[in-house]
Chain A
Amino acid sequence: MVDLELVTRAASGDQAAFQALVERHRSMVYRVAFQFAGNHYDAEDIAQEVFIKVYRSLDRFRQDAQLTSWLYRIVMNACIDHRRRQRASVVAPFGEEAEQRMLNTPEEQPGPEDRAYAGEIGEVLEGEVRRLPEGQRIVFVMRHHQGLKLAEIAEALGLAEGTVKRQLHAAIHRLRRTLASANVSAGERA
């Protein structure tokens, strides 16, 4: 059964259809949530929240839309909401002002230098991905890990493609800087 049919059935109260939808997409949702959150506690919370939101919004799903794009948008908003609650601060995730703030956000934790050594660059980079500002992290995860095109990300998040490009660029810039530091650190230890 295709996604659209499952959504239609679930929207009319068919719990088996909703179950099938959850089972079909839960791995993707969990994977993105974990890549964003970096731990099982929060990933599970985010994934739960996503499917509750999906359940509540089934009747608002546009028949001509891609389910995966719709899901991505819900996942990403859930990630942002989750992060916002954790930080107990109100931060608008997107928009020009928020974008500038994201681009200028300083690193929160001690840099990777102390942790980096040969063979653990992946871990260092993974940690840095988790420290990226929300907007950069979401775009990077969607582009790099999920393989979505920038246009698809823009559609899923309701953003201009140029904004998505700038977020990706900022994320890449920071990761390259981290890679350089990790290499230097690894070289010093060698």
Chain B
Amino acid sequence: MTGCPRIESGSVELYFYDELEQVERASMARHLASCGECRQALDELTTIRAALASRPIVSAPLGEDWTGFMTRLKAAVAIDQRESAAHGPVGRRGGESHPPSPGATAGRSAFDAMAGRSAVSTVAPYLAMAALLALVTMSVAYVARTGWGRERGRTATPAPAPVARADVAATASPEAERGTVEAAFAALSEQHFERSKLVVLGLTSKDAQHARLEDWEYERQLASSLLTDTRLYRAAAEERGMTSIANVMRDLELVLLQTSLAAHSGPDDLAQIQRLIDRRDLVTKMELAAGI
């Protein structure tokens, strides 16, 4: 098949793809007139082109539906933005050297609309603040009701006596109160991870190739119900600088988001979510976070 040196040198395919200079091309054309081997190679290339051209061109996800793709991309970009912000200003992502253009706010809304989601990012700061306030209140009430810190013995601060919430601010020092709240928050996070593991482990145990939509309907519904809480926990953890919990919550949020927004009933979505769980090592992280 490769006796002629012009075939060995690649001249035939360069001729075929019109990559030769004019002089070389003319020389190759003359050679082809007298070399059956090269003519056969050229014919084969023509056959290969025709055969491959007969194959369907795939340039969009299944069903030509970009919705799921754009939603996942938006979620990934949002997480990337958060991670960049958490790690301080770096180039564009710091947002200091390049102030947002006048169209940036409108653009964000357009991107949200494109992804079929509400403009969560525009209210995220308020959500975070509200979540923090709510969780602090819940945490203090939880500690006051159960005396959790003393029983678990995890907090370095003295365990508070079960007192009414109104008394806490008046009796505890700011440091002790902070420690107590953080310990309680960690406990609440642990409970949230336990609930969420039902979804994550349920998803990983499914056979992505054969699972039907109804086979993971329970996980999808549970994911939807847990998503808002996860977002609030993550925002509150970030606000308090509890980085370990915040990072796991962020990964969990992405998995829950993708699960609750799964657009197709085929195996694509489930397989992608399983890969995401695997890549992020989410099960292990949740187990470790539960011990924080």
Please report A residues at the B interface, Cβ cutoff 8 Å: 9, 11-19, 22, 26-28, 30-31, 34-35, 40-41, 43-45, 47-48, 51-52, 55-56, 58-60, 121-123, 125-126, 129, 143-145, 149-150, 165-166, 168-169, 172-173, 175-177, 179-180
Contacts and interface: CB of A to CB of B under 8 A. Distances in A.
Contact of B80 (A47, A55, A166, A175): A55
Contacts of B41: 176
Contacts of B72: 48
A169 B13 contact: yes
A12 B98 contact: yes
Nearest to B93: A56
B73 A122 contact: no
A26 B92 CA distance: 23
Given A31-B57, A44-B61, A144 B106 contact: no
B13 A168 contact: yes
Contact of A31 (B47, B59, B271): B59
Contact of A41 (B14, B51, B271): B271
Contact of B272 (A41, A149, A166, A180): A41
A174 B9 CA distance: 15
12 contacts: A12-B99, A12-B104, A14-B100, A14-B107, A16-B108, A30-B60, A48-B69, A48-B72, A48-B76, A145-B52, A150-B19, A176-B1
Interface of B: 1-2, 10, 13-14, 17, 19, 41, 44-45, 47-49, 51-55, 57-62, 66, 69-70, 72-73, 76-77, 80, 91-93, 95, 98-101, 103-104, 106-108, 110-111, 114, 268, 271-272, 275
Contacts of A176: 1, 41, 44-45, 48
Given A52-B77, A176-B41, A40 B111 contact: no
Contacts, number: 143
B52 A129 contact: yes
Nearest to A170: B10
B203 to A, nearest CB: 15
A27 B101 contact: no
A18 B14 contact: no
Contacts of A143: 17
B2 A15 contact: no
A177 to B, nearest CB: 7
Contact of A175 (B10, B48, B61): B48
Contacts of A9: 101, 103
